[in-house]
Structure 1
């Protein structure tokens, strides 16, 4: 495995590809061993051979893309954990991609737990701050299409009761303003979400608190919002997750 990875690293260092002898030399392998591994890696799709040189194949590129996504997720997780500790609240990062609400990462602790997902976040965007924030960034056609797939339904006595009322609420939201939700998704919980738009991608960073700490919600959200400009580069890089 290590020898194969050395060969893959050697191939990756040559954008235009390299012949077997050069790759064997650079990876410190005997030529017969290098030939055997190159044939195996080519057969499995990790390499491809063109005009006597070896280049990365589709499987290797997918592997690299997967590793890059994992690195970006780790970077997001570290950033959220920093603000969880600095502000003392659970912190969430979510995006709207391919017509779906996707919670990418959550940073919480045993003492400061995140909201329990008792009803699928993807299907209940009308009821929680994350979903409301993401949907508010879409045009009306995209909003209606989303609600056609995931109809408005009451989750608590505080949840908006019908689609028309919810669309009016979205229309009344100031663009890129903080979105606050009180016990609409879960009784005893309040949330706030900060909109982030990078290019055409809607995203949000959000926080949650128990109802007994509602007085902390807006100050904590505004603290995070003030710092968001400094963080945008990190999150812009992560949008492609």
Structure 2
């Protein structure tokens, strides 16, 4: 486990184990019983009891009425601060994307089972797309979400879709897990994703993954369908890929 690796590498074993617990909670939907945490982390129950008690006391976990445990509110400001850092570091490249393509540029990541926007530079057009930073949306109906799902194993993708659901935002929204997995496979092969009117009628998105060694992020543009044709989409992929490589270098160098 990560805690044991941290100990062997000169880190603090108890800290590594506490992080194992938090990461396991996040990966399993944010809510688990003690025995489930123990089984998932491989840590003995007495150790889990001590770690969980400490995390509850500090607000990083909370106990539910049914005696299960869930992620705590103390994580929210930490997550918000981290999101702001990502957005600030990526801002020059987001601005460059807007200068080159004229459309709104977005930076997004997965937060649990949902897609969250952590950076954005708006288009100069009067008609433009805008997404509130920190807003969580379902991953299955956004190009950035599909790109991030494509970096996960199929079983993990299915688990996310099962927990989060696949609500139909428009008539174009994909609501069949098998169809989405077919799309995900194509994204793995091509390295980019298109989304046409699946979240909002008349809006299209193009997204690519950021090839970072330290974090999982996606870069996208969103625009009205009237301004998006095949030539624009193909150019957008090239511009986004170049920007994604630059952002990855910046983020990994500061990690």
| TM-score above 0.5, yes or no | yes
Query: Residues 97 and 239 of structure 2 are in contact (CA less than 8 Å); yes or no, is this contact kept in structure 1?
Result: no
Instruction: Kindly report the root-mean-square deviation, in angstroms, between the aligned alpha carbons of the 2 structures.
Output: 3.3
Query: Residues 123 and 150 of structure 1 are in contact (CA less than 8 Å); yes or no, is this contact kept in structure 2?
Result: no
After superposing on structure 2, the runs of 4+ consecutive aligned residues of structure 1 that deviate more than 6 Å are 66-69
In 1, Cα distance between equivalents of 2:246 and 2:223: 24
Query: Residues 138 and 202 of structure 1 are in contact (CA less than 8 Å); yes or no, is this contact kept in structure 2?
Result: no
- Correspondence for 1:55: none
The structural deviation recorded for 1:105 is 0.5
Decide which structure has the larger Cα Rg and report it: 1
Residue 103 (str. 1) matches residue 142 (str. 2): no
- Correspondence for 1:115: 129
| Number of aligned residues | 176
Residue 231 (str. 1) matches residue 247 (str. 2): yes
- Correspondence for 2:159: 145
- Correspondence for 2:238: 222
- Correspondence for 1:206: 220
Residue 92 (str. 1) matches residue 121 (str. 2): no
Greater mean deviation of Cα atoms: 126-135 or 102-111: 102-111
Cα separation, partners in 2 of 1:182 and 1:74, compared to 1, 3 Å: same
In 1, Cα distance between equivalents of 2:140 and 2:177: 9
Instruction: Show structure 2 runs of 5+ residues with no match.
Output: 1-79
The structural deviation recorded for 1:72 is 5.0
- Correspondence for 1:155: 169
The structural deviation recorded for 1:179 is 0.6
Equivalent residues in 2 for 1:1-241, closer than 5 Å: 73-109=87-123, 111=125, 115-117=129-131, 122-175=136-189, 177-199=191-213, 201-215=215-229, 216-236=232-252
In 2, Cα distance between equivalents of 1:123 and 1:70: 18
Greater mean deviation of Cα atoms: 179-188 or 155-164: 155-164
Cα separation, partners in 2 of 1:209 and 1:71, compared to 1, 3 Å: closer
User: Which secondary structure state, in structure 1, belongs to the residue aligned with residue 116 of structure 2?
Assistant: strand
Query: Residues 128 and 181 of structure 1 are in contact (CA less than 8 Å); yes or no, is this contact kept in structure 2?
Result: yes
The structural deviation recorded for 1:220 is 2.3
Question: TM-score with structure 2 length normalisation?
Answer: 0.58
Query: Residues 198 and 236 of structure 1 are in contact (CA less than 8 Å); yes or no, is this contact kept in structure 2?
Result: yes
Instruction: Show structure 1 runs of 5+ residues with no match.
Output: 1-65
